[in-house]
Amino acid sequence: MTPDINSPDYWHDSYLNGRIPWDLGFPTPTFARLAASGQYPPGQMIVPGAGRGYDARLFAQHGFDVLAVDFAPDAVAAMQSLNSTTHPVQILQADIFELPETMNGRFDYLLEYTCFCAIDPARRNEYAALAARLLKPGGLYIGLAFPIGRRPGGPPFVVQPDGVVELLAEHGFSLQHREFPPDSVPSRQKIEELLIMQR
């Protein structure tokens, strides 16, 4: 039977069985650089598919008001146990595609890493539409497109950064910056690209 990647059970089992190669175990170095740069004033941030919340906590420590969303119970439990009392992250166990309309236009930033590559590729347009509705006008999509390449199967499903830029442009986003981060972890050098797009 084909596993249902749209089900939280699939991802919960992945965490329980250690099948989580996307989990670095620490905040993403590229995001640590951006958070500390002062270029992005603290505001409301949503992190879809936040996993164990390393990046969500990173931005919270820099003064951002962060909502971390995941639907895998193990990931949510880990976020809750690791959450800081001084710079807490709001944690929501939910399917990102079922977030309420009350969240429309609420966020200044959407932080993306390993969520886009985890969803069914047939839902990528739905993801772009979600980003557009969650962000305020002028809000920023800050994402690492990963893993870049051409191979069948997944998850993670391969990503083409030009395709991500084009897809988000169809939903009203404009490209502000892109780079192959010099501070990607060694195993991800040149197979991830930073994309910053404005709604």
| pLDDT band with cut points at 50, 70 and 90 for residue 3 | low
Burial of 76 (0-12, 13-18, 19+ CB in 10 A): buried
What pLDDT is stored for residue 153 in this prediction? 85
Question: How far apart are the C-alpha atoms of 123 and 31, rounded to whole Å?
Answer: 25
| pLDDT band with cut points at 50, 70 and 90 for residue 15 | low
State the Cα angle at 128 between 96 and 107, rounded to 5°.
65
pLDDT surpasses 60 at 11 = no
* Helix intervals (H) in the chain: 8-16, 29-37, 54-61, 73-82, 124-134, 161-169
| pLDDT band with cut points at 50, 70 and 90 for residue 2 | very low
Question: How far apart are the C-alpha atoms of 98 and 143, rounded to whole Å?
Answer: 21
Please write the tens of the pLDDT for every residue from 79-95: 999 999 999 999 999 99
Question: How far apart are the C-alpha atoms of 106 and 54, rounded to whole Å?
Answer: 22
Question: How far apart are the C-alpha atoms of 90 and 146, rounded to whole Å?
Answer: 25
* Average pLDDT of the chain to the nearest whole number: 92
Q: Report the top-level CATH class of 8-21+29-198.
A: alpha beta
What pLDDT is stored for residue 25 in this prediction? 82
| pLDDT band with cut points at 50, 70 and 90 for residue 1 | very low
Q: In the predicted model, what is the mean pLDDT of residues 169-197?
A: 97
How many whole angstroms from its chain centre is CA 137? 19
Please write the tens of the pLDDT for every residue from 139-170: 999 999 999 999 888 889 999 999 999 999 99
The domain locations on the chain are 8-21+29-198
Question: How far apart are the C-alpha atoms of 183 and 181, rounded to whole Å?
Answer: 5
Which pTM does this prediction carry?
Answer: 0.90
Helices (H) and strands (E) in the chain, counts: 6, 7
Cβ(119)–Cβ(152) below 8 Å = no
